[in-house]
Structure 1
């Protein structure tokens, strides 16, 4: 199994990755609290279209190292930088889903977007999650505190319910995904480091990327579902399109947060059309 080591970290971190195909490199950055396996519906279509597709496990998740600290976005972006540097990638496209949007934006802040030609934010947390006086559509502070308390008291129980909300399962039971898909996601999330699950939640729940959006200076695809119950579209996609200079914004009607599974065909077409431009 392929690993690379981020030796720039205080404690070296081993990052697991998969690398398929050839052509322009596309790096897929998974969301919280999953792993590279979350991109299973996208990888075949991208590889078959002639792209080199790289997925990896965020530190603390999947098969990557489980360090105790280093879950702030600059540390996470340093892992992305090591992938681009060590694999000697040029003209890469970096695609961040949900929490992964933070690595995308922070990479432009910390590394000036080196060797990146395009970016994409899918159901992304960009620019910020919590409700604030100047972000009235964000997630209420009480809800974020409840998430943290649940992760500390009954992590696996919380994750079981979380993935139902991820797909709006109770509203569309059996129509979009199977119960087996829910269990698959739960098993991936449950395997992650409990400590990393909490600390990365603190990062995506507490980082304000609004001042950094201007740093994303390459063509950027923004995709968000209108029925996202995890990251409301009003606080994410609608604001990201106002802050990122060169972007194209697509709303997928009635799509939940996990639209990469429920609306695979729509998302894959948007990605491929954007890559081909």
Structure 2
């Protein structure tokens, strides 16, 4: 574990375990690298080098007041890969982290990358516009910002207890430890970073970024995702990249890397070995 300091003075915390082909994990909003525990332990056991960082303003990284946009997120990721001199890396992004991976590959090139995986990811564009009529109304994201600004702790308890993991679905038993771990990670980060991050993940259009990606991309998404609706995300992203594969999971929720880790890890391993 360590930190790097970016050109604007932000300290980025990261974990770097093992040896072998590197897998770099980019986490979702408003969490931290800890959200990848199930994946990092699994792939470490299978002989990979596993790396994950806390996005600026999240987890143990600097709670800076600015730079909470996809360009800065991508630049921070590029700084980390350069610092560690990673080659032949597989980049895996969940939710907002999927947007970070897409912007990184488009903005900084793919010479260090072998493959990419987008899990429950926000691209191509979440918010509803004239060009994206299937997106979610901007009011949805305005309401999230209002909750972050005024009732963050309560909101961070309610979201994982309901839509994030599908614990609001009939017959699904909530797991209190998972809910509390989500809350813990969220409250480690900064309110300003999380507030601005809502705009970053919802209003960034990744269409042109996706078109630039030539490495193989696996797009994994549950069709019962209540956070990033399936129809306006995964199928579109898989078509926009040049070498994309779509894998759809019936009934799986947004947080499926945690609640369905066994299935997700096995499919990731198959993709890495292919």
Is the structural similarity TM-score above 0.5? Answer: yes
- State the partner residue of 1:21: 18
Q: 1:170 aligns with which of 157, 164, 168?
A: 168
Alpha-carbon separation, structure 1, partners of 2:68 and 2:226: 24
Residues 173 and 153 (structure 1 numbering): CA distance in 2 closer, same or farther, change over 3 Å? farther
Alpha-carbon separation, structure 1, partners of 2:149 and 2:62: 21
Alpha-carbon separation, structure 2, partners of 1:243 and 1:274: 19
How many residues are matched?
273
Q: Deviations over 1:193-252 (max 9, x none)?
A: 000010111111111111221111100110000100000011110110111110111001
Deviation at 1:68, TM superposition (A): 0.8
Matched, 1:155 2:152: yes
Aligned Cα root-mean-square deviation (Å): 1.3
**DSSP-derived class of the 2:129 partner:** coil
Alpha-carbon separation, structure 1, partners of 2:244 and 2:213: 10
Deviation at 1:151, TM superposition (A): 1.4
- State the partner residue of 2:108: 111
Alpha-carbon separation, structure 1, partners of 2:188 and 2:109: 34
Q: Which runs of 5 or more residues in structure 1 are unaligned? A: none
Aligned residues of 1:137 and 1:232 also touching (Cα < 8 A): no
Q: Deviations over 1:61-100 (max 9, x none)?
A: 1111111111111111111111110101111111110001
What's the TM-score, normalizing by structure 2? 0.96
Alpha-carbon separation, structure 1, partners of 2:2 and 2:210: 32
What's the TM-score, normalizing by structure 1? 0.95
Aligned residues of 2:115 and 2:217 also touching (Cα < 8 A): yes
- State the partner residue of 1:221: 218
Q: 2:63 aligns with which of 55, 61, 66?
A: 66
Q: Which runs of 5 or more residues in structure 2 are unaligned? A: none
